[in-house]
Structure 1
Amino acid sequence: MSDALSYRSVFISDLHLGSAACHTDRLRRFLEAVECENLYLVGDIIDIWVGTHSGKWTQAHTNILRTILSKAHAGATVWYCPGNHDALFRKLCGAELGQLFVDHQFVHTTADGRRLLVVHGDLYDRIVYTLKPLAWVGAWCYEALTIIGAWLSVLQTRRPQVRGNLADRAKRRVKNLVKYISNFEERITVDAFRLGYAGVVCGHIHGPALARHETGAVYANTGDWVSHCSAIVERWNGDLELVTWDELVDRCPRLGDSGESPLSSLDADSERLIRESIAHGIH
């Protein structure tokens, strides 16, 4: 494994598995290529609002979960804090499932001794917190725009890989509005600072960022895997870095080579349990 893809910790969020927008192929290749001691799933991993409806969940989405479970089986510690789209799994908060831990938030200590609050961040979004039905409608609008955008891309350019541009533009405008109304970055960073943390790692607003607040606290947003295909990583010396799919492909060209997933070593029972959990999770 190249040192360029070996990290102490990897933070990802807003995968939205089960939605049409999730870049499952890129995500799978990223997870298979990266080595880490800690894998943080910072919310909205499964899009229960959309993905539990008939026909939405595919084998590609199952393979992502199997890849994550294989990381835990291989010795990585997986930390999962659910978000608003997978809030159902907050019922599991406090659970320890082997190398997989589930909770509302975590405290991560970097290699250089900084304590970071890790939390999805939806509770700092006034729109989601007070107007959940509006957020639900927005999720389905985004799903519809993603599908329409994919068809338009095929019809106009015959290049389906540019799917989602229409939805992405709409998503950016909505998320910028959320940032303006909620003052998201300011509120979550200052809150973490007042609680005694050196910074915060979050997701939710789909805006990848790594910045230092005027208080000195770090604001790290993992972005998403529906538009930006980004992650926050911690190097072995404790330094944080924001990485994107395109940057990683430039650094490690073999990532850009699509291939079959080497997940056949996981048994059929594991796959069946994953499918049943997703299918019946909302009951």
Structure 2
Amino acid sequence: MSEAGIGEKRTTVRWKISILMWAVIAINFVDRTNLSAAAPVLEKQFHISPAEMGVVMSSFFWSYVVFMIPSGWLADKIGQRISLALSCLWWSLATAATALVRSAGSLIWIRLIMGIGESGAYPANAGITSKWFPVKERARVAGIFDSGNKVGAALAMPLVVWLLTRFGWEIPFIVSGVLGFIWVTIWWVYYRDPEKHRYVNQAELTHIRAGQPQDQSDFSSRVKWYHILCHRNIISMCIAFFMLNYTSYFFITQLSQSEMCS
């Protein structure tokens, strides 16, 4: 980190970090939705019924939901640089390994494994946001990285269909897995916490820290995660988000399969 000088212009490393946060969410959603495009081919090749494919599609969420809170705890414990790299590496390996499956059972297992890895993305990004951004910028950066899920889902279908029809159903999973490996490499080289980042100057660090709650360091010791569920606003948000996700994934999975088959 460079020393502050008189009239020093503030660096913008935090916004470069936000681009990496956006990219990992986009890759996250490419990897979780690419099965939708390949599903009709897999159903025919491995004699998977529509009901079985429905179980395969939902199996991702079984592990994803269970491991979301443990993933957030782990990110705070070992640091987001390590946890997000491990998370992306984990699900990218699972995505690439999907090319090896030969039955509905093996598909379910690989989707369960992928769900464990993908559960770490949003909790890690939330922790990075609290470290790197003052309160007044957090809504903006959350909007930036969360938009990656819409872009990732939108890009996945045409990209996966093109690769599938040109090279076979295995290639889209390998390619999307490789995208994750590339992201992990860039992340590991570039990311550090603000005080340790070589490209952050004192002006940017002061801007970040001045806009954060002064007692942030001991916040987690005063508030237990399960106490949050007692708040009416949180419960309302959870219900609304459940409705949104149910509708969204119905379009991504079931309707996209119908379109591919037609």
- TM normalised by structure 2 equals 0.26
Structure holding more helix per residue = 2
- TM normalised by structure 1 equals 0.24
Structure holding more strand per residue = 1
More relative contact order, 1 or 2 (CA 8 Å, 6+ apart): 2
